[in-house]
A and B are shown apart, each in its own frame.
Chain A
Amino acid sequence: MAPVTEIDLRSASVRELNGALHRAEPGTSWRVLHPGGAHNLAVGLDAAVDVVIDGHAGYYCAGMNQHATVTVHGNVGVGVAENMMSGTVRVRGSASQSAGATAHGGLLVIDGDASARCGISMKGVDIVVGGDVGHMSAFMGQAGRLVVCGDAGDALGDSLYEARIYVQGRVRSLGADCVEKEMGPEHLAELAMLLKAAGRDDDPAGFRRYGSARRLYHFTTGNSY
């Protein structure tokens, strides 16, 4: 097993951490100790490295990730894995607002809850949330899949484009132009794949699917939202 390089944020700066991770060789493993909720940890990674953050992280943890696997043993602040392109980010705790915002690819797993706007403007990422998501989740979601194993807050999928949403629990309300859609065999298979990738054993049959009614795709006098 390859050795793990440890960076202790009691003595190292965030700049030193990110600089080291930007220079890291693919296949290397890193452990971040005492993160103390610092912002911008492990951002802009561009290699298949494995990073474990041993504690809570602040804003934008693993932002714009490419290729790397980042695991946070704690909670994360706003915008975890924002604009991620590829790779995997896993949060063992809960996430604040805008988790996975605008992310284009990769897999974001949040074992706990995610706050408001989870998956906002998502552009291809897959997001699996073990708990609940807050209001306006998947707002203007363009592509990708959002799986919510708990409940969803108000205005789910508001102004949705082509992102697909699966919710196992209760949906407090749907946003503008978001509707419940039929759950076909292909959707059950897709959902099963996503749950498996996230390491979960929930039954896909217990979920409902939501998507865009596509009534806002063209400006008309009837766009009264």
Chain B
Amino acid sequence: MHDDPAALGLRESATFDRATIAAIQRAAETGVYDIRGWGAKRRVPHFDDLLFLGASMSRYPLEGYRERCDTDVVLGDRHATRPLRLATPVTIAGMSFGALSAQAKEALGRGASEAGTSTTTGDGGMTPEERGHSKTLVYQYLPSRYGMNPDDLRRADAIEVVLGQGAKPGGGGMLLGQKITDRVAAMRTLPPGIDQRSACRHPDWTGPDDLEIKIRELREITDWEKPIYVKVGATRTYYDVKLAAKAGADVIVVDGMQGGTAATQEVFIEHVGIPTLAALPQAVRALQEEGLHRRVQLVVSGGVRNGADLAKCMALGADAVAIGTAALIALGDNHPKWDAEYRKLGSAAGYFDDYQDGRDPAGISTQDEELAARLDPVEGGRRVANLIRVMTMEAQTIARACGKAHLRNLEPEDLVALTVESAAMARVPLAGTDWIPGTGR
């Protein structure tokens, strides 16, 4: 019998592919929908569908490795007296202690600090390990308010009001009982071991008019020192960004549908929200129309993996990016050395997404002490810092080739699209043409 059915002339259905068949069979057997981690796995238009136009006759490049190409960024100088000053526009996205081990959170803080950038708490509050190892820490203000307290608010370097995330806009959160240890439960004021819901709506404000008052409250509590971010999952991005800016945000974070999660329904991850590529130009246009582009900084996340993605985000008008899944991979997530253990869990290196189960062999998305102890926070921090450095240098390489002395000088004019869809979403011309679908040009 041949191992490859296709070689025998058998034909797999494009509509009912193997993953779809397995999902139907699983649903039929269990009667429960699938919950998993990671982000959208389906193919959507993404930054790979864009290319840079390096300098040639009509543009003047900068010398690689030698001529200066700066990467620093200031976030939150619209209203805050202490804006963040970062050495690189690559930041670490919000991920909770609870979803991640304390070691993983510490490693992310170490990596971000070494690279001169910020990291972010998550749903569940701020841990001493994270604060202690994060030079610049953004404190998330979420609907659940788990662990929220004014002391940590004052200890934070910035505050991020979270309305949603790209993996599940409108969905709140969940953390399954196997990860609700005594420590996690105590931080969230919940009974240990229960399947925990994180609210999908903020408990004390509704809509942009209320948000404006809420932002002012947070500023008053922290004496107007801290930058206030507003994070939205990418859906009606143009309107969300306008409203967030009008509500007084210093920084707006837009998280596309490829953004990761620790535990969400598969149907939610794959079918709600829009791609990062589609959201980013909407956000920029919204800010430009308000006269606030660059005054309100824009951070983009959701499938940002490398320096090319960073450079493309910057060229489309972002001020910075946030990485989540890429940072976990840098820590060791899905590393081939754990393949045998992934297979025992019914997965494999490169496929593992069962962050919700808490049995992560890499010790990252777990609260099991033995598994978590596998992750060395110092080594993990070094790896994360290395990734951020590489991403930054890759983006510099591209920026210099486009003749830009600062990453933020990259512009849409430096880009073309490979597909009609990506040209329409990114609002840059289809390669080899001057056609931008949907603009009348």
Contacts and interface: CB of A to CB of B under 8 A. Distances in A.
Interface of A: 14-15, 18-19, 22, 39-40, 43-44, 46, 58-60, 63-64, 66, 78-79, 82-83, 85, 97-98, 101-102, 104, 117, 120-121, 123-124, 139-140, 142-143, 159, 161-162, 217-221
A79 B153 contact: no
B194 interface: yes
B290 interface: no
Contacts of A221: 31-32
Which DSSP category, helix, strand, loop or mixed, fits chain A's interface? loop
A63 B199 contact: no
Interface stretch (B3-11, B44-52, B107-115, B219-227): B219-227
Nearest to B153: A64
A14 B204 contact: no
A117 B223 contact: no
A59 B213 contact: yes
A101 B203 contact: yes
9 contacts: A22-B223, A64-B149, A83-B145, A83-B150, A102-B145, A139-B203, A142-B189, A218-B194, A219-B195
B144 A43 contact: no
Interface in B190-212: 190-191, 194-195, 197, 199, 203-205, 210
A159 B201 CA distance: 14
Contact of A159 (B151, B197, B203): B197
Interface in B150-206: 150-151, 153, 174, 176-177, 188-191, 194-195, 197, 199, 203-205
B204 A102 contact: yes
Given A18-B220, A63-B217, A82 B204 contact: yes
A121 B188 CA distance: 11
A43 B190 CA distance: 26
B148 interface: yes
Contact of A219 (B32, B203, B221, B223): B32
Interface of B: 31-32, 35, 144-145, 148-151, 153, 174, 176-177, 188-191, 194-195, 197, 199, 203-205, 210, 213-214, 216-217, 220-224
Contact of A123 (B153, B189, B205): B189
Given A43-B220, A217-B195, A121 B144 contact: yes
A117 to B, nearest CB: 7
Contacts of B214: 59-60
Nearest to A120: B203
Given A104-B149, A143-B189, A121 B203 contact: yes
B105 to A, nearest CB: 22
Contact of A102 (B148, B153, B191, B195): B148
Given A140-B199, A142-B189, A14 B220 contact: yes
Given A140-B197, A142-B189, A142-B190, A85 B149 contact: yes
Nearest to B31: A221
A16 to B, nearest CB: 11
B150 A15 contact: no
Contacts of B220: 14-15, 18, 40, 43-44
Contacts of B151: 66
A39 B217 CA distance: 8
A161 B32 CA distance: 23
A219 to B, nearest CB: 5
Nearest to A212: B191
